[in-house]
């Protein structure tokens, strides 16, 4: 009988930088990428040559880095780059040597499973720059894996990295960033609004365009929307001051960060470069809720170093990203699958935790102070939403505490297909999103209060015996 456990190779994932040169999608192992720099506005410095792929020279921290243009050297699809492309120089490193590669666009960081790599040239050939590929899957294009050492040997163009060449020369040289190794950590630098944040690349699973929001929560909270990526729900998170990255226009990219079994989508404006930060180059910020420290780039730009563990600790909504168990993995097989609810549920806190089907939920917004005051005083409360005047009502309590909880949010519910204005149900906070077929429903009686539906999430000890409240029905009754 075959062992059903995954092979060790399958579990090994190597992050690669995904770039495009003309019509070719190329991937370079992240540990071979030093930086991704914009092309100098005045162009590259020309180096007189008869022919070849050398495009010119770029200055990087005082080092003259030769830049290669693959389209001059290799047969590649012709045609102008797309108007939305931002050409860059990808600075590559190997054995203390640096070379630049001109690319039409940097598409982000993609996690590549070692087991998915396919060798297409089975006889080693030092003239081949692309020996292996990653087949297209899940809407992602096929990637050609660039052999960086061969690129340097074939072009015979590189510069020695002063930081890795040793201290044999006594001549003064411009300061360089230390090479990767002991005491350094590689970071991806993102611009989020007007701020620059450095994120440890070990936590970055991939960088992709922001997926469509399924539930928009508004700009008041750090989690501004709920979205979905490859079958997993995940919160979209904006960590900038003033919430400058809470829409797809201001922040078109999502850096998917992982911690254990959970993921979240950090929305960012621009993916700028990669830097290696030495421990002694970072000023610690022990009292900051989101950063582990501050650092300066050579151009004087301040970097905020994101503490990924702290971010997950402050984002309980990341629990919605728990991967669903594979179909048939329960011992009960198909019968167990049929016993689960086929719709997703929203878990929220009012006077206690409740769960509601999400089919009628059209939004979650922060309650304005006036509406909160009206609810506390048991007056009629309203709020403005997308041109509508929306009535807001409190949820009748099943287990009222001595001090009613402060209402902070309103869940907006509307009958599907209805043109009428939605109704807002005041709640304290959002707790979770339970995917379809992840909960089981049961019933119980509570004395004179009658029959209640109860929800239990599979494998979640914090979501047992939740009272089911259909917010659409509740809005109809309370309206």
Q: Which domain holds residue 123?
A: 8-160
pLDDT value at 397 more than 70: no
pLDDT tops 70 at residue 425: yes
Q: Of 3-12, 45-54, 420-429, which has the strongest mean pLDDT?
A: 420-429
Indicate whether 12 and 143 sit together in one domain: yes
pLDDT, position 78:
60
In a domain, 462, yes or no: yes
Q: Of 285, 273, 357, whose CA–CA distance to 61 is shortest?
A: 273
Among 275, 298, 321, residue at a domain's last position: 321
Average pLDDT over residues 395-420: 72
Q: What percent of the chain has pLDDT over 90?
A: 11
- Report the pLDDT value the prediction gives residue 339, as an integer from 0 to 100: 64
Residue 331: predicted pLDDT: 42
Nearest alpha carbon to residue 31 among 201, 258, 270:
201
Cβ atoms of 107 and 21 within 8 Å: the answer is no
**Count of other CB atoms within 10 angstroms of residue 131:** 18
Is 39 found in the same domain as 73? yes
Please report, rounded to a whole number, the percentage of residues in the chain having pLDDT higher than 70. Answer: 78
- Can you name the residues that pair with 19 across neighbouring β-strands? 26, 106
pLDDT for the residue numbered 404: 63
Q: Which of residues 102, 128, 160 is at a domain's end?
A: 160
Residue 127 lies in a domain: yes
Give per-residue pLDDT as tens, 184-240: 888 889 999 889 999 998 888 888 889 888 777 766 678 888 888 877 888 899 999
Q: Are residues 361 and 298 in the same domain?
A: no
Q: What pLDDT score was predicted for residue 265?
A: 94
Q: How confident is the model at residue 114 (pLDDT cuts 50, 70, 90)?
A: confident
More confident residue, 324 or 277: 277
pLDDT, tens digit (0-9, with 9 covering 90-100), for 338-357: 467 788 888 888 878 888 88
Single out the residue in 290, 321, 352 at which a domain terminates.
321
117 and 199 housed in the same domain? no
Do 245 and 298 sit in the same domain of this protein?
yes
For residue 436, give every residue at least 6 positions away whose Cβ sits within 8 Å of its Cβ, in sequence order, or none. 340, 341, 342, 343, 344
Q: CA angle 37-138-317, nearest 5°? A: 80
As a whole number, mean pLDDT of residues 396-409 equals 66
Q: What is the mean pLDDT of the chain?
A: 77
Domain presence at residue 167:
no
Residue 304: predicted pLDDT: 93
* Overall domain count for the chain: 3
How far is 444 from 458, CA to CA, in rounded Å?
19
d(CA 233, CA 392): 27
93 alpha carbon, distance to own chain's centre: 26
Q: Between β-strands 466-468 and 353-357, what pairing exists: parallel, antiparallel or unpaired?
A: parallel
Lookup: tokens for 287: 């009292």
pLDDT for the residue numbered 359: 81
17 and 49 part of one domain: yes
Using a 10 angstrom Cβ sphere, with 0-12 exposed, 13-18 middle and 19 or more buried, the burial of residue 329 is exposed
pLDDT value at residue 216: 77
Q: How far apart are CA 145 and CA 133, in angstroms?
A: 6
Q: Which of 20-29, 124-133, 450-459 has the highest mean pLDDT?
A: 20-29
Average pLDDT over residues 353-373: 86
Give the per-residue pLDDT at 238: 94
Give the per-residue pLDDT at 236. 92
Strand partners of residue 171? none
How much is the pLDDT for 268?
Answer: 93
Beta bridge partners of 303: 295
Q: What is the mean pLDDT of the segment spanning 83-90? A: 74
**Contact indicator for 468, 453 with CB cutoff of 8 Å:** yes
Q: Return the CATH number at 117.
A: 2.40.50.180
The three-state secondary structure class of 319 is helix
Pairing of strands 302-306, 195-200: parallel
Say whether pTM exceeds 0.95.
no
- pLDDT of 267-319, one tens digit each? 999 888 788 888 888 888 888 889 999 988 766 678 999 999 999 888 877 87
- 468 pLDDT higher than 60: yes
* pLDDT number for residue 237: 93
* Alpha-carbon distance values, 414 to 209, 222, 346, 388, 425 (Å): 29, 25, 15, 12, 11
- The whole-angstrom separation of Cα 70 and Cα 52 is 10
Mean pLDDT of 391-397: 82
Mean pLDDT, rounded, for 53-81? 77
């Amino acid at each position: 009988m075959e062992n059903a456990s995954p092979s060790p190779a399958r579990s090994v994932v190597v992050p690669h930088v995904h770039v495009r040169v003309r019509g070719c999608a190329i991937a370079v192992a992240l540990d071979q990428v030093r930086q991704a720099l914009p092309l100098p506005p005045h162009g590259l410095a020309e180096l007189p040559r008869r022919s070849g792929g050398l495009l010119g020279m770029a200055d990087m921290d005082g080092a003259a880095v030769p830049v290669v243009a693959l389209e001059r050297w290799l047969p590649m699809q012709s045609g102008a780059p797309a108007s939305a492309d931002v050409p860059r120089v990808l600075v590559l490193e190997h054995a203390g040597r640096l070379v630049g590669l001109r690319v039409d666009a940097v598409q982000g960081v993609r996690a590549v499973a070692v087991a998915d790599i396919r060798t297409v040239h089975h006889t080693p050939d030092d003239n081949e720059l692309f020996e292996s590929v990653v087949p297209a899957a899940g809407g992602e294009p096929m990637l050609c894996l660039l052999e960086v050492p061969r690129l340097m040997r074939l072009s015979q163009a590189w510069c020695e990295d002063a930081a890795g060449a040793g201290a044999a020369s006594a001549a003064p040289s411009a300061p360089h960033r230390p090479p990767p190794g002991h005491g350094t950590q590689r970071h991806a630098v993102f611009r989020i609004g007007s701020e620059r944040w450095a994120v440890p690349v070990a936590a970055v699973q991939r960088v992709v365009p922001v997926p469509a929001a399924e539930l928009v929560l508004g700009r008041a909270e750090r989690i501004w929307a709920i979205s979905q990526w490859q079958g997993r729900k995940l919160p979209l998170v904006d960590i900038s001051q003033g919430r400058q990255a809470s829409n797809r226009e201001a922040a078109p990219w999502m850096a998917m960060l992982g911690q254990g079994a959970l993921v979240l989508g950090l929305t960012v404006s621009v993916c700028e470069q990669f830097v290696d930060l030495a421990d002694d180059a970072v000023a610690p910020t022990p009292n900051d809720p989101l950063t582990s420290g501050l650092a300066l780039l050579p151009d004087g730009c301040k970097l905020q170093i994101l503490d990924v563990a702290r971010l997950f600790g402050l984002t309980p909504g990341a629990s919605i990203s728990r991967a669903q168990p594979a179909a048939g993995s329960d011992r009960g097989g198909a019968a167990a699958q049929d016993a689960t609810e086929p719709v997703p549920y929203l878990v929220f806190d009012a006077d206690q935790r409740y769960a509601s089907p999400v089919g009628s939920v059209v939004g979650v917004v922060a309650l304005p102070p006036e509406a909160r005051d009206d609810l506390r005083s048991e007056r009629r409360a309203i709020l403005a939403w997308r041109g509508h005047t929306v009535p807001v009502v409190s949820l009748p309590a099943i287990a009222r505490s001595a001090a009613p909880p402060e209402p902070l949010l309103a869940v907006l519910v509307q009958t599907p297909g209805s043109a009428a204005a939605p109704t807002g149900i005041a709640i304290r906070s959002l707790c979770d999103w339970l995917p379809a077929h992840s909960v089981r429903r049961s019933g119980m009686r509570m004395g004179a209060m009658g029959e209640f539906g109860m929800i239990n999430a599979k494998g979640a000890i914090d979501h047992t015996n939740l009272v089911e409240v259909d917010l659409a029905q509740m809005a109809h009754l309370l309206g």
